[in-house]
Structure 1
Amino acid sequence: MTTSKFQSPVTICQTTDPTTEFPVSQDHTGQQAATGPQITLYSTAICPYCVAAKNFLKSKGQTWTEVRIDLDPAERDKMVALAKRTSVPQIFVGDIHVGGYDDMMAMHRAGKLEPLFAAAGGQA
């Protein structure tokens, strides 16, 4: 019998039990709330771009308020009214609509995201 040194590139992802109740929104502001920019991230439970956006914000030392639109249709309606888009994530820094994950990363690559964080009262 031979053993293979091949490692599968597939990562097993854990899913949440569909009966699990989630809060309508989660506050990820921690202790930075008084000094950080108000970042609002509209998301759903099964959105990989939402996860990527949260990981990026965390890597930048930012905090945010997450609004789960899959749990509250009124929050989805509010997001669509504000962003004029139906996709998630939708990210706001203060009253400024950044857009989705790709938009946020484009702003970061162009050097425009960190100044926006700073102007909104957070760290760059």
Structure 2
Amino acid sequence: MANIEIYTSPTCGYCHAAKRLLAQKGVSYTEVDVVRDPSRRPEMVSRAGGRRTVPQIFIDGDHVGGCDDLYALEEAGKLDPLLAA
């Protein structure tokens, strides 16, 4: 099973949608709340190539992008192979 990390904030609808999709896939993930732990935000921005919005999603250390990117992978049939790696 892949190692999934998602940077989020509690009031972000896109974060909830991304987590919902991952839950539907039955995969676990590590969530980093950048509001409760603001010291992690610079780490997220650095890892995400300068992106500052949440969510930012990583699968096995590779930056997938945000919620729209995650759903695009799902629609293209490319998410399941990433999650199974």
Equivalent-residue separation in structure 1 for 2:34 and 2:68 (angstroms): 19
Matched residue, 1:109: 75
Counterpart AA for 1:81: S
1:87 partnered with 2:53:
yes
Matched residue, 2:16: 51
Match runs of 1:24-63 below 5 Å: 36-63=1-28
User: Structure 1 runs of 4+ off > 3 angstroms?
Assistant: none
Counterpart AA for 2:66: G
Q: Which has the larger radius of gyration?
A: 1
1:66 partnered with 2:57:
no
Deviation at 1:72, TM superposition (A): 1.9
Where does the alignment leave 5 or more consecutive residues of structure 1 unmatched?
1-35, 120-124
Give the TM-score of the pair, scaled to structure 1.
0.65
User: Which protein has greater RCO, CA pairs closer than 8 Å, 6+ apart?
Assistant: 2
Q: Secondary structure at the match of 1:116?
A: helix
Give the TM-score of the pair, scaled to structure 2.
0.94
Alignment RMSD: 0.8
Query: How many residues in Structure 1 have an aligned counterpart in Structure 2?
Result: 84
Equivalent-residue separation in structure 2 for 1:113 and 1:78 (angstroms): 24
Where does the alignment leave 5 or more consecutive residues of structure 2 unmatched?
none
Equivalent-residue separation in structure 1 for 2:33 and 2:47 (angstroms): 15
Q: Secondary structure at the match of 1:91?
A: strand
Equivalent-residue separation in structure 2 for 1:49 and 1:110 (angstroms): 19
